[in-house]
């Protein structure tokens, strides 16, 4: 069977793609690949200096790339609202929203709104951004929302609704896992609410990718990291599941893509399954309701779609 690579991406000319966290790692490679196929790519980044460097790098490697820089701090709902408004002012349509940005296993921190940093950034920030941009996606035939999760979703015993912000105790790996499980619960519930619309929601994970995202891993993991790198792949390979979910004409709403190698750690993208907990309908709906309450962002056009 032919392996799916960036050469498999159909022509993206005329399409508008918003990629969060596009200044480094997986997001940068995703933005580069979409630009190389002709898309107008909005690099939504927290640090504008790093964003400018990313645009310069893509422009040097992709001739005639069509790029735009947008400031976005997913750890601030005010920033999310501002960014969404600015994107909508510039664009009357969005074809692809790639919810890629994230943080992994930092020491206990909170967002500007008081949320645990991983849950607030990885899930709530993207939940709010998606809701605020949705009206630019819904009218567009073939538009997609792709949210990047992780095999780390398996670290989470569930969603700690009684202590979502980890105020009683903090386990950085489980908190990361909770945020990545939330990404999947959100994707599956969103797709169900999108039934009958032209927009679909999918998820992807990069496997073991050698990026700077691992810089906050606990010391025991850091010690083992050099030896474990033989199991990892570079960011360009790690971005392939996201790119397939975003552009493969055969990809369907509600699907989840990851590497085809051992334990889904490396390899070419294929359709994979998340853990059983992620498919729990009651859990999906409860998280959705809580996320609307915490962010103040609703998806009014989709209300009642899951009744």
Give me the count of residues in the chain.
307
For 97, the 3-state DSSP assignment is: strand
DSSP 270: E
Q: Could you say which of 176, 256, 257, 268 is catalytic? A: 176
Residues 6+ apart with CB under 8 A from 171: none
Q: 155 to each of 194, 203, 219, 298, how far by Cα in Å?
A: 28, 18, 18, 29
Alpha-carbon span 240 to 284, nearest angstrom? 26
Contact 58, 32 (CB under 8 A): yes
Distance of CA 14 to the CA centre of its chain: 22
Output the CA angle 86-26-42, nearest 5 degrees. Answer: 20
Known catalytic residue at 170? no
Q: Indicate which residues carry an active-site annotation.
A: 176
């Amino acid at each position: 069977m032919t392996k799916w690579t960036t050469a498999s991406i159909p022509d993206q000319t005329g399409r508008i793609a918003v990629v969060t966290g596009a200044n480094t790692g997986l997001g940068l490679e995703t933005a580069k690949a979409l630009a190389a196929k002709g898309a107008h790519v909005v690099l939504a980044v927290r640090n504008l200096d790093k964003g400018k460097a990313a645009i310069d790098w893509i422009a040097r490697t992709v001739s005639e790339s069509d790029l735009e820089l947008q400031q976005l701090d997913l750890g601030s709902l005010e920033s999310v609202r501002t960014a969404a408004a600015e994107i909508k002012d510039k664009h009357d349509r969005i074809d692809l929203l790639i919810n890629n940005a994230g943080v992994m296993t930092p020491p206990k921190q909170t967002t500007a709104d008081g949320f645990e940093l991983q849950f607030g950034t990885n899930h709530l920030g993207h939940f709010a951004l998606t809701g605020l941009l949705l009206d630019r996606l819904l009218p567009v035939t073939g538009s997609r929302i792709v949210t990047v999760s992780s095999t780390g979703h398996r670290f989470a015993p569930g969603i700690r609704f009684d202590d979502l912000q980890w105020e009683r105790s903090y386990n950085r790996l489980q908190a990361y896992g909770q945020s990545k499980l939330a990404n999947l619960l959100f994707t599956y519930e969103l797709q169900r609410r999108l039934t009958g619309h032209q927009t679909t929601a999918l998820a992807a994970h990069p496997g073991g990718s050698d990026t700077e995202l691992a810089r906050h891993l606990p010391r025991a993991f850091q010690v083992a990291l050099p030896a474990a790198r033989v199991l990892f792949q570079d960011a360009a390979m790690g971005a392939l599941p996201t790119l397939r979910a975003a552009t493969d004409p055969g990809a369907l709403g509600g699907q989840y893509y990851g590497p085809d190698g051992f334990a889904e750690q490396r390899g070419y993208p294929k359709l994979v399954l998340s853990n059983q907990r992620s498919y729990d309908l009651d859990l999906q709906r409860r998280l959705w309701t809580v996320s609307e309450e915490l962010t103040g962002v609703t998806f009014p056009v989709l209300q009642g779609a899951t009744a």
